[in-house]
Structure 1
Amino acid sequence: MSKLRVNAFTLSLDGYGAGPDQTLENPLGVGGEALHKWMVGTRSFHQMVGKDGGTTDVDDRFTVRSFENVGAWILGRNMFGPIRGDWPDENWKGWWGDNPPYHVPVFVLTHYKREPIIMEGGTTFHFVTDGIHAALEQAKAAAAGKDVRVGGGASTIRQYLQEKLIDEMHLAISPMLLGSGEHLFAGLDMLKLGYRCTEQVTTADATHVMIGRG
């Protein structure tokens, strides 16, 4: 059965998924890039950016798991780009260049209409203006029985958690403090929503936690 998943979403010790003051030059906010130290050294990440080498340890295995059986993605608009308001033109096509790492249909939540963007490698960005449920319906249809992965940001994940729609969530908790930014669990009572920890593994650069409903 198809699942709605969050994978490899990195948090600071104080619960922030990105640092403050996100900009085009600093897309993860101040200090946010350092959250992902656990992943950037892995073989999987090296392959994504066209490099050789990398580790094949626990961190790499969680990275590999994050891409298994994914047939579609859902992203908040901030995960697609820094532009606010109506689209000024068609020039911005994401943070990732001509060949994004998704390789499946991606559904971007926005309030402003835009035609789909077909990229190299099998990624097509679709822009959904009628909310999270519509995005999930379209993503599940596109995934054709595979899972749908919610990539973020924190606000988008919170909306799906609040509706009890996320079946499985992998968080990588980085041993650092950000102090401010966008808090993943703001306003949520995860226990009342029915979520619990199902797995925990610690490495040098992250504590990997799996959360599910049960």
Structure 2
Amino acid sequence: MSLARIHNLSISLDGFATGEPQSAEAPFGHAGERLHEWMFATRYWGAGGSEGVDNAFAERHGHGFGAEIMGANKFGPPGWQDDPDWRGWWGPNPPFHTPTFVLTHRPRPPMEMEGGTTFHFLDATPADALETAREAAGGQDVRIGGGATMVRDFLAAGLVDHMHLVQVPIVLGRGVRVWDGLEGLEDGYDVEAVSAPSGVTHLTFTRRPAAG
């Protein structure tokens, strides 16, 4: 069976994956782009970037995926459901290039974009959404794309096979935390940490095989 994987999810030292308040002008609230500066400095992001450990981790975001699932707050700012013309943050050619499933309590018809991305809008549980995405992925893996609330829901449901978090050395103090309600999560995973010269720490969680 294909894997459900999370890659390049940046969090602060106190566990927040976004700040507040989120808006069209400030997608990550008071955090701005500070959580993602490590990635902007890599060759993965731009031709003049670095090729070190940060780049090696960042590049894994694009390998082996046949579908993505994202939460409503990743697809657009608060209230985007009321704008029938909203087509996401990414312009006419989004970077996903696969079927992409947006979890929302207010579904709308599918939205076909350039470059192979089609947004499908689902009101579904994490388990049902993952089953739908796996069918569309054609045997490849499914990327669990965020935001933090959706990632937390998938982790709580035991659906994540591999997770790559990037701990950034900033303290946000408020926003949306990944870890709330996930006490003991590490017991089901092998956890590795790699420190980078940029100051971030790459944390990988790989699900342990079931006993027996």
TM-score by length of 1: 0.92
User: Among residues 198, 206, 210, which one is paired with 1:212 in the alignment?
Assistant: 206
Take 1:191 and 1:88, find their aligned partners in 2: how far apart are those partners? 36
- 2:107 corresponding residue in structure 1: 113
Residue 201 of structure 1 pairs with residue 202 of structure 2: no
Partner amino acid for 1:189?
A: E
Where in structure 1 are there 5+ consecutive unaligned residues? 47-51
Q: Deviations over 1:39-72 (max 9, x none)?
A: 00111112xxxxx321111111111112110111
Report the 3-state secondary structure (helix = DSSP H, G, I; strand = E; otherwise coil) of the residue aligned with 2:90: coil
Q: Deviations over 1:162-203 (max 9, x none)?
A: 111100000000011101100101011234762341x22111
- 2:41 corresponding residue in structure 1: 41
Cα RMSD over matched residues? Answer: 1.5
Take 2:187 and 2:147, find their aligned partners in 1: how far apart are those partners? 20
- 2:75 corresponding residue in structure 1: 80
- 2:148 corresponding residue in structure 1: 154
Take 2:31 and 2:91, find their aligned partners in 1: how far apart are those partners? 23
Partner amino acid for 2:60?
A: R
- Following superposition of structure 1 onto structure 2, how do residues 21-100 of structure 1 map, counting pairs within 5 Å? 21-46=21-46, 52-84=47-79, 87-100=81-94
Q: How many residues align?
A: 207
Structure 1 moving runs of 4+ over 2 Å: 87-90, 190-193
- 2:167 corresponding residue in structure 1: 173
Percent identical pairs in the alignment equals 46
Quick check: 2:69–2:101 contact (8 Å CA) kept in 1? yes
Residue 123 of structure 1 pairs with residue 126 of structure 2: no
- 2:20 corresponding residue in structure 1: 20
Quick check: 2:165–2:203 contact (8 Å CA) kept in 1? yes
Quick check: 1:37–1:205 contact (8 Å CA) kept in 2? no
Partner amino acid for 2:140?
A: K
Take 2:21 and 2:186, find their aligned partners in 1: how far apart are those partners? 32
User: Structure 1's 184 and 32: CA in aligned 2 closer, same or farther, altered over 3 A?
Assistant: farther
Q: Deviations over 1:118-177 (max 9, x none)?
A: 111111100011222221111101111111011111110111111111000000000111
Report the 3-state secondary structure (helix = DSSP H, G, I; strand = E; otherwise coil) of the residue aligned with 1:9: strand
Take 1:95 and 1:5, find their aligned partners in 2: how far apart are those partners? 22
Partner amino acid for 2:118?
A: T
